[in-house]
Amino acid sequence: MPTTHKTRMLIVGSGPAGLTAAIYGARAGMEPIVVQGLQPGGQLTITTDVENYPGFRDVIQGPWLMQEMQAQAEHVGTRMLWDTITAIEMDGSPFRAIGDSGDIYEGDCLVIATGAQARWLGVPGEAELGGKGVSACATCDGFFYRGKKVVVIGGGNTAVEEALYVTNHASEVVLIHRRDSLRAERILQDRLFAHPKVSILWNKAVDQFVGGDKGLTGVALRDTVTGEISEVPTDGAFVAIGHAPATELFKGKLDLDEAGYIIVEPGTPKTQIAGVFACGDVMDHTYRQAVTAAGTGCMAALDAERFLATRDFAATRETVAG
Ligand code: FAD
Ligand code: NAP
């Protein structure tokens, strides 16, 4: 029998944005519910070292940070629920979300913190060899390539971190990038260039993942400048070309930009619907950091509190007047 869960503040997503909104919302007495989704704790649960989240002199681990954030949210009164939202009604408050479990979640206000998901290349062999040599998470699967050769595709922070991480396991790591310069932070680039196990193939696009029943054997490449075709033998390939915002649920209900990110009022987490707020990577294609996600999560909770206070005050005035 489906259950209806009611709350002043419904939060969809349990990454740094959702959990920070929950911490502030709970402390403001909004008794938030967080619907966690398929990745409790969000993207940082698939990484290892985090050295840029303020407050920690020593390197910390992403999964540990997210466990602590969740514990803090629960400690101040957040209810964490294990479900994934599959449909949402946003005509007005209360907002209704339907979970994969069949349960219904009703919130007087709604905070969307659904983050982003790994992007794939969409070339032949990628789906077929997924889990048989092709992966989007080196920190999850790098262990399987002890003493083997792997390639990492991409040129951003994720690709460089993934490449450096797999050097802990693999004997040889080749970074494949479609241009002749990386967009990763300079400090990461310096570490990559200095690593004896790493080499880089510049100006190369992956046309196909090659392999069969036994798994991946190589990647077919095309030179993006000369058009020359080549093939690099490899045991594993990690696709690290960025993430797409998780906004499928909100198409046609909220304004999205051309890349699919939720459009908010500049400088705020307010969407075009009063009482609906968006925070973290789902509305931010520029910064996409744990600390900025947490920051906008805080802003969403503060604005949610103001929204409810204004609405409650207006309702009380009407009751008194009427
Ligand atoms: P996410 O962390 O993406 O969380 C989204 C949440 O929404 C998840 O809990 C998911 O389960 C939930 N969700 C999605 N859809 C639904 C649904 N339909 N129903 C219910 N829940 C749903 N940033 C740094 O600052 N430092 C780093 O060192 C760093 N390292 C990184 C390493 C990697 C490999 C990656 C991929 C990212 C890294 N980042 C780092 C970026 C950082 O992880 C993100 O900016 C941050 O996690 C965004 O937080 P978020 O809360 O917006 O979303
Ligand atoms: P990103 O910064 O968007 O970089 C994506 C990379 O993949 C780019 O180099 C891009 O190439 C390449 N790419 C995209 N589509 C491609 C395609 N179809 N074929 C081949 N290559 C393709 O994504 P990200 O590295 O995942 O980082 C996302 C965010 O998380 C960033 O804000 C990043 O700073 C943050 N992050 C931070 C840390 C950290 O602080 N330590 C770690 C990881 C991630 P072009 O360069 O040619 O566009």
pLDDT of residue 322: 65
Distance 285 CA to ligand 2 centre (A): 11
141 given a catalytic annotation = yes
pLDDT digits (tens, 9 = 90+) for 270-321: 999 999 999 999 999 888 899 999 999 999 999 999 999 998 777 777 776 7
pLDDT exceeds 90 at position 100: yes
Q: Which atom of ligand 2 is nearest to the CA of 119?
A: 15
User: What pTM was computed for the model?
Assistant: 0.82
Q: By three-state DSSP, how is residue 64 classified?
A: helix
Spatial separation of the C-alpha atoms in residues 74 and 132, rounded to whole Å: 38
Looking at the DSSP assignment, which residues form a beta bridge with residue 151?
174, 237
- 14 within ligand 1 shell (Cβ under 6 A): yes
pLDDT exceeds 70 at position 111: yes
Stretch 1-12: mean pLDDT, rounded? 96
Distance 214 CA to ligand 2 centre (A): 30
Residue 290, token pair as written in the block:
């744990």
303 given a catalytic annotation = no
Looking at the DSSP assignment, which residues form a beta bridge with residue 210?
218
pLDDT of residue 258: 87
Q: Average pLDDT over the chain, rounded to whole?
A: 95
Q: Which atom of ligand 1 is nearest to the CA of 162?
A: 34
Catalytic residue among 100, 137, 207, 223: 137
Spatial separation of the C-alpha atoms in residues 301 and 297, rounded to whole Å: 6
Looking at the DSSP assignment, which residues form a beta bridge with residue 116?
245
Q: What DSSP line would sit under 209-232, residue for residue?
A: EEEETTEEEEEEEEETTT--EEEE
Q: By three-state DSSP, how is residue 16 classified?
A: helix
Ligand (nearest to CA of 159): 2
Distance 320 CA to ligand 1 centre (A): 45
| Minimum CA distance residue for ligand 2 atom 31 | 288
94 upstream amide cis, omega within 30 of 0: yes
Catalytic residue among 108, 141, 281, 303: 141
Q: By three-state DSSP, how is residue 155 classified?
A: coil
Spatial separation of the C-alpha atoms in residues 284 and 295, rounded to whole Å: 12
Looking at the DSSP assignment, which residues form a beta bridge with residue 303?
none
Stated length of the chain: 322
Binding pocket residue ranges, ligand 2, CB within 6 Å: 52, 121, 154-159, 161, 178-179, 183, 205, 241-243, 288-289
Nearest partner of 181 among 199, 162, 158, 202, judged by Cα: 202
With contact defined as beta carbons under 8 Å apart, do 4 and 103 qualify?
A: yes
- 291 within ligand 1 shell (Cβ under 6 A): yes
With contact defined as beta carbons under 8 Å apart, do 12 and 37 qualify?
A: yes
Ligand (nearest to CA of 185): 2
Strands (DSSP E) contained in 143-197 are 149-153, 172-176
| Cβ neighbours around 147 below 10 Å, total | 9
Amino acid identity at 18: G
Burial class for 58, CB neighbours closer than 10 Å (0-12, 13-18, 19+): exposed
pLDDT digits (tens, 9 = 90+) for 232-274: 999 999 999 988 999 999 999 999 998 899 999 999 999 999 9
| Cβ neighbours around 141 below 10 Å, total | 18
Residue 190, token pair as written in the block:
């310096």
| Minimum CA distance residue for ligand 1 atom 2 | 42
